[in-house]
Amino acid sequence: MWSALDYPCSYGPEGPDCDPYCLYDIVNDPTEKKDLSKENPDMLKKLVERYNSYSKEPRDMQDQGYHSEDDIPKDPNACNCFVATAELPNIIFVLVDDWGFADVGFKNPAISSPNFDHLAKTGLVLNRHYVYMYCSPSRASLLTGRWPHHTHQWNLGNNSTAGTNLAMTMIPAKLKAANYATHMVGKWHQGFFDPRYLPINRGFDTSSGFLCGSEDHMTQNAICAIDYWKNNAPDPRNGTYDAYIYRDDLTDIINSHNTNEPLFLYLPLHNVHLPLQAPKEWLDIYPANSTCEKRHTLQAMISVADNVTGHLVELLKKKGIWDNTIMVISADNGGAHCSGSNYPLRGCKETLFEGGVRSLAFVNGGLLPESRRGQSTDGFIHIADWYTTFCKLAGVDPDDSGTGKFPVDGLDVWPIITGENEKTQHEEIVLGYNFDFNHPGQGAIIVGNFKLLVGLQNAFECDSLGWRPLDYPCSNGLEGPDCDPYCLYDIINDPTEKNDLSKKNPEILNKLLDRYHSYSMEPRDMQDQGYHSQFSVPRDPDACKYMQSNVCVLCSCFVATAKLPNIVFVLVDDWGFADVGFRNPAISSPNFDQLAKTGLVLNRHYVFKYCAPSRASLLTGRWPHHVYQWNLATDATAGTNLNMTMFPAKLKAANYSTHMVGKWHQGFFDPRYLPINRGFDTSSGFLCGSEDHMTQNAICAIDYWKNNAPDPRNGTYDAYIYRDDLTDIINSHNTDEPLFLYLPLHNVHLPLQAPKEWLDIYPANSTCDKRHTLQAMVSVADNVTGHLVELLKKKGLWDNTIMVISADNGGAHCSGSNYPLRGCKETLFEGGVRSLAFVNGGLLPESRRGQSTDGFIHIADWYTTFCKLAGVDPDDSGTGKFSVDGLDVWPIITGENEKTQHEEIVLGYNFDFNHPGQGAIIVGNFKLLVGLQNAFECDSLGWRPLNYPCSNGLEGPDCDPYCLYDIINDPTEKNDLSKKNPEILSKLLDRYHSYSMEPRDMQDQGYHSQFSVPRDPDACKYMQSNVCVLCSCFVATAKLPNIVFVLVDDWGFADVGFRNPAISSPNFDQLAKTGLVLNRHYVFKYCAPSRASLLTGRWPHHVYQWNLATDATAGTNLNMTMFPAKLKAANYSTHMVGKWHQGFFDPRYLPINRGFDTSSGYLCGWVDHFNQKQGCAVDCWKNNAPDPRNGTYDSYYYRDDLTNIVNNHDANNPLFIYLPLHNVHTPLEAPKEWLDIYPANSTCKTRHTLQAMVSVADNVTGHLVELLKEKEMWDNTIMVISADNGGDQCVASNYPLRGCKYTFFEGGVRSLAFVNGGLLPESRRGQSTDGFIHISDWYTTFCKLAGVDPDDSGTGKFPVDGLDVWPIITGENEKTQHQEIVLGYNFSSHGAIIVDNYKLIVGSQNARCDPLMWTPLDFPCSNGRVGPNCDPYCLYDIINDPSEENDLSNKNQEMLKKLLDRYNSYSKEPRDMQDQGYHSMGAIPHDPKACDYMKANGGYWRPWKNV
């Protein structure tokens, strides 16, 4: 209400409450009478997004981790109110296994459960108590206080070599700190392969029961051995119904308990889990159920569980400890399909419907307040909450944060139990995240009233999607549709999940999807401990052998001989999908045909689109973008990450002999990259990516290598040499050792060459003149492979061998045939990435011979599979590398399980070999392609005839920006669904873009394009002094290039003579006319951040976005290496003349201490051009001291300094000059001799002054060019001229662009820029380019030109964002390398981002003189057309609408959402590094005493801190 002035207790007028929101304009409505939340949804959305952005902050720092009043830690012993005896409470948790929501007497009269009924009737029933959808994860949540996906979501198999993270402190261990006696009786299911995982070692004083997930209730047999355990040893009491043994153990525990100690008892009963078994005395009380034949057994099992629980209550009462006890009884998940009843809820165990995750639960005990007895509560509780609640009751700290684990998720729900506060404390609960037990992406989240389900839920022969009758769960109840891809329910008003709102309420759907997908940012190696599917949990096939020597049903087939298998991998280079005899009768490949016919053909085997990355995936087990996606050039100074363990090195741990014969292509510039140093005992073949098959010449030198030295056998067709080497390896192999042989053949890669004896069997092909050569090369590869098989058979090794044969990518364009697939090598269509592949060998089960499989396999999977076959751990996690992506696909090969284990496979991510953002991902049935695929003179977009791949087949449209295919039903990719199925498109785009959050310095080792891979132009010189064809153009003189960067301050886009005849700038005009104009060169919207981006290579929000005031005690992050310091490593002379504006309060920030040999000019953001006065002092500085030359027009003394620098420069050293001119920044001042050439402008009084200032800047730049020419340095120079931002409002012209300095419109951030110098290729002179460049790119470009590493990663700073744009400058590749550029992020609620063709502007842009208009060419102060502001957003297609006339934010909601998602993704970055923590101009620290220091120290601006 609004209270009266002096009668606040009286009842004033009342207003509605804020449920869920209120929105007020508190400037115009300070009394908050008018709620605008419904009238102004755009503003509401903006503020809700800003509010929710704080959810990304560290939770342990917000409110010190206390997120509500009820969350504040309290000492329950302060008043001892709830423990009248001053004793800590006894805590009992009874967990009933697979207990249906309605499988209890008080919900279903057909069940006898008098004890449960009484405990519920006299206790508190929990209506909204949530668990996981099956056993082990629910237990882990209870015991560790984490949500399932923060501990694990997999059901541990009996032979699993995994368990609940040892770094997590379980609740009994916490309670030990309060001197609790802790006991467990029943089912453990938290891992036991290692003794450290046993309950006795996780905090329990005693434990009895069984360790795995299920056993025979009567005999305790679990598959191949007895599972009954007590403390640290087997328990011989097996042979008795397990619940009866539990009852006896409970009696012993309670009767022997010392009542002076508090008690914690965990009773995870085995009932009512499968197998359904009950003692006869309990079965006899239930009639058989004709609908569900086992239903009466389940009912009897409930009665047994009830009996054991009742017995425990009696024991506690007799011991006199019930009054000081709190007891919780809960199911671990919903009732199982076809036997348990979850009426009226939908679904069952192993689904995320309420019937699977809302558990039957209630609380009793003497400590339950009397007011709560006989009640129920709708308080929102997750099983993980009991961890925190029990800790608080026991007076111990629930905190369990630390390395290698997520913090505790559970909250204290004691206020709900006592009735003190029944409101839900959870903002949200993740019921499961992206887990693929049966279906890819399965998960669920509850936020407020709403629940989102992701992915298919139906996985069973008994349909789990419906609503079953109360006591006939096997009958056909009402069925509902599955969640594909989503379901959305209001579970407060629709707890039975009958009304899916996903299509009716897209706003809520998107909100919950955003919350759900936010968890994709969490460390993958901690979610589920890195095992992201049921099938990826490691298992030991010899576990049963260990348990019982004469019984083994789990042992894998391949270890029957007690020998490890021999493993052979044959990789055929550029082998087309149809380039084999069994698919194409025009090809002779009898050995391949026989191996496929008697083996297993892999229909869905995926690789990368070209050579080196596929090999890297195979050898390291990573997806290409997690190792690299570039094709290593011969002179590349890069290779497969040395931190990654290749699988031959893994196999060495199992005493394998490891050999490689053929093409390496994984780097060799450094000996550490050689195959002999990556795990191979021997290697022979060639090291680079291609060579002449006959001579082994690779560009400028011979490439043939054996082990550690060159191999002189060159001059023979390479495949023939391989055949000889294979003979030697097999014949000399010790058969007591297992063998690994890797045969990466060079055939059928270019150059297309074959011996005459093979060419002669094929007629020439008139359509493809080289086709018959390729066919002959296939036959040679077939011959070598057949020879290898024969060698293995003769040696007696074949029967214990598994052999995989695969292509490394699709057939090449214009020669290879990928029929019927679309596309070819170097595209991400199926023809480029679905490889010809098959498996054979003596270890292939007989049942799989002559078969094919649609099992989904990636080449990276063989790493894990081979490690598992060899009995070694495939784990290869560690610093500086992604963890292994590959899964064990042996179950697909054997037929044990052909279902896809991969939730998704990233075929390529954001790789710009030929097109920006090129990538692809497969999720379920669908494949998304991102970016243009056609990169060749021979069209690669179509479907080619079987044996005429060069003829004109049917062509298809390219993917711009996306294609979406159902590759199960449309494997030839003929029907693009991207427009027909936007929901699936959005889902796959979300998954694809989630990989943008991964560390950029690890994706592709930081080389994000083919062109950014480092190369050594002198490599050929090293190999052969008189041959070099790889040397870059700019080092033809053997000198590093001179680099000059001229930065003109506040220079308008049209303020130059070649764009505006009213301005005289003959030098600029000539440099642009004979140089290369950069049409799309981007900067920040004002001075200091643009300079910081240039000097550090970061986008503005990764260094800072504030304009430094003169007295600011801040500057460009000292941790960041500026590029003059980088160039010093290449012996550059480095000089700066002009405006610094990067901080100077501390001497460490001066240019002389940031990499410059000399500097002159001024330090702050502007000065009087004539007297260099800035406020209270003069700012004129040289090197380390004030410069007394003030009093001269600043550009004139810059000219003098340039003369001295160039004339005194030693031309034997490379030169870097940075010339950040003060012109044409305010104050608008020019010498009279320049003013006199311009008439006054009546519209803009100072316009003629600005024109004169441009002419002065032009004159200084022309003078510098002449100096370089006179010094004979120009021919070896590259010069870049750019503005630092758009022209200033009311005086400069940015025609035809919209806006000006201080705005994110193109007029503020697209700068006037051009390049010249002797090193600019002749073909680029007089041209312009639309290549997309950001000012930060010059950092990387200049480093690469100078031959220094641009990497500047490290603590306390973002890595370098800039890319190498030299290919744009030279014309080698004008296509944009950037997927996106952030022009500014969230600074004072303003920002902008460009993604592909589109630009998003966030926030109002209006400042001072209206910047929203399109200014006339030379009358920028006149009233031009004005456009609407961006409140909250503008969206423009800046390729087709560079002047930003058509705002698409309302017309193209899909694109708006895409760019908003990309923009908002930067909210995940560390806030203390974005802008160094100063998130507004007003937040920058200032020193009000700075002027006093200057006045006292000579009247010059200078550093005043740490002097």
pLDDT of residue 1242: 59
Rounded (5°) CA angle 512-514-518: 120
Burial class of residue 42, CB neighbours in 10 A (0-12, 13-18, 19+): exposed
Cα within 13 Å of Cα(1171), Cβ side: 7
- What is the Cα gyration radius of the chain? 37
pLDDT of residue 1378: 84
User: What distance in Å separates the CA atoms of residue 1343 and residue 1095, rounded to the nearest whole number?
Assistant: 11
DSSP E strands, 705-797: 705-706, 709-710, 739-744
User: What distance in Å separates the CA atoms of residue 126 and residue 328, rounded to the nearest whole number?
Assistant: 10
Nearest to 723 by CA among 658, 817, 789, 633: 789
Q: In which residue ranges of the chain is pLDDT below 70?
A: 1-14, 58-86, 289-293, 435-441, 458-479, 524-537, 539, 544-562, 765-769, 900, 911-917, 934-955, 1000-1013, 1020-1038, 1241-1243, 1387-1389, 1406-1426, 1479-1481
User: What distance in Å separates the CA atoms of residue 537 and residue 734, rounded to the nearest whole number?
Assistant: 34
User: What distance in Å separates the CA atoms of residue 600 and residue 252, rounded to the nearest whole number?
Assistant: 58
Helix (H) / strand (E) element for 927: namely strand 926-930
Structure tokens at 771: 């086709």
Grouping H, G, I as helix, E, B as strand and the rest as coil, residue 1163 is coil
Nearest to 730 by CA among 788, 799, 782: 788
Q: Parallel, antiparallel, or unpaired: how do β-strands 1277-1283 and 1313-1316 relate?
A: antiparallel
Q: Give strand pairing partners of 1161.
A: 1138, 1181
φ/ψ of residue 459, rounded to 5: -130, 15
Structure tokens at 964: 């979406």
Would you give the DSSP letter of residue 800? Answer: G
Assess contact for 762 and 752: CB atoms under 8 A.
no
Burial class of residue 676, CB neighbours in 10 A (0-12, 13-18, 19+): middle
CB atoms within 10 A of CB 60: 12
pLDDT of residue 653: 84
Burial class of residue 1472, CB neighbours in 10 A (0-12, 13-18, 19+): exposed
- Cα→Cα distances 545→224, 410, 553, 1437, Å: 9, 40, 9, 66
Q: Determine the residue type at 1465.
A: S
Q: Determine the residue type at 375.
A: Q
List CB contacts of 133: < 8 A, sequence separation 6 or more.
Answer: 333, 334, 349, 350, 351, 352, 356, 357, 431, 432
User: What distance in Å separates the CA atoms of residue 1256 and residue 1051, rounded to the nearest whole number?
Assistant: 12
Helices 1453-1465 and 982-994, packing angle to 10 deg: 20
Q: Give strand pairing partners of 1404.
A: none
Nearest to 810 by CA among 576, 545, 1090, 1096: 576
pLDDT of residue 386: 98
Assess contact for 912 and 1379: CB atoms under 8 A.
yes
User: What distance in Å separates the CA atoms of residue 824 and residue 829, rounded to the nearest whole number?
Assistant: 7
SS3 per residue for 306-346:
HHHHHHHHHHHHHCCCHHHEEEEEEECCCCCCCCCCCCCCC
DSSP track, 1407-1465: -SS--SEE--SS-TTS--EE----SSEEEEETTT-TT-----TTT-HHHHHHHHHHHHH
SS3 per residue for 73-103:
CCCCCCCCCCCCCCCCCEEEEEEECCCCCCC
Helix (H) / strand (E) element for 601: namely strand 600-606
Grouping H, G, I as helix, E, B as strand and the rest as coil, residue 1200 is helix
Assess contact for 810 and 816: CB atoms under 8 A.
yes
Assess contact for 292 and 118: CB atoms under 8 A.
no
Grouping H, G, I as helix, E, B as strand and the rest as coil, residue 620 is helix
pLDDT of residue 195: 86
Q: Give strand pairing partners of 444.
A: 432, 453
Structure tokens at 1238: 């311009």
Assess contact for 634 and 1019: CB atoms under 8 A.
yes
Grouping H, G, I as helix, E, B as strand and the rest as coil, residue 1062 is coil
Grouping H, G, I as helix, E, B as strand and the rest as coil, residue 359 is coil
Q: Determine the residue type at 976.
A: D
Nearest to 348 by CA among 212, 489, 474, 214: 474
Helix (H) / strand (E) element for 187: namely strand 181-187
Q: Is the dihedral of CA 860, 864, 869, 875 positive or negative?
A: positive
User: What distance in Å separates the CA atoms of residue 936 and residue 944, rounded to the nearest whole number?
Assistant: 15
Length of the chain: 1507
User: What distance in Å separates the CA atoms of residue 152 and residue 148, rounded to the nearest whole number?
Assistant: 5
Would you give the DSSP letter of residue 833? Answer: H
Catalytic residue IDs: 135, 189
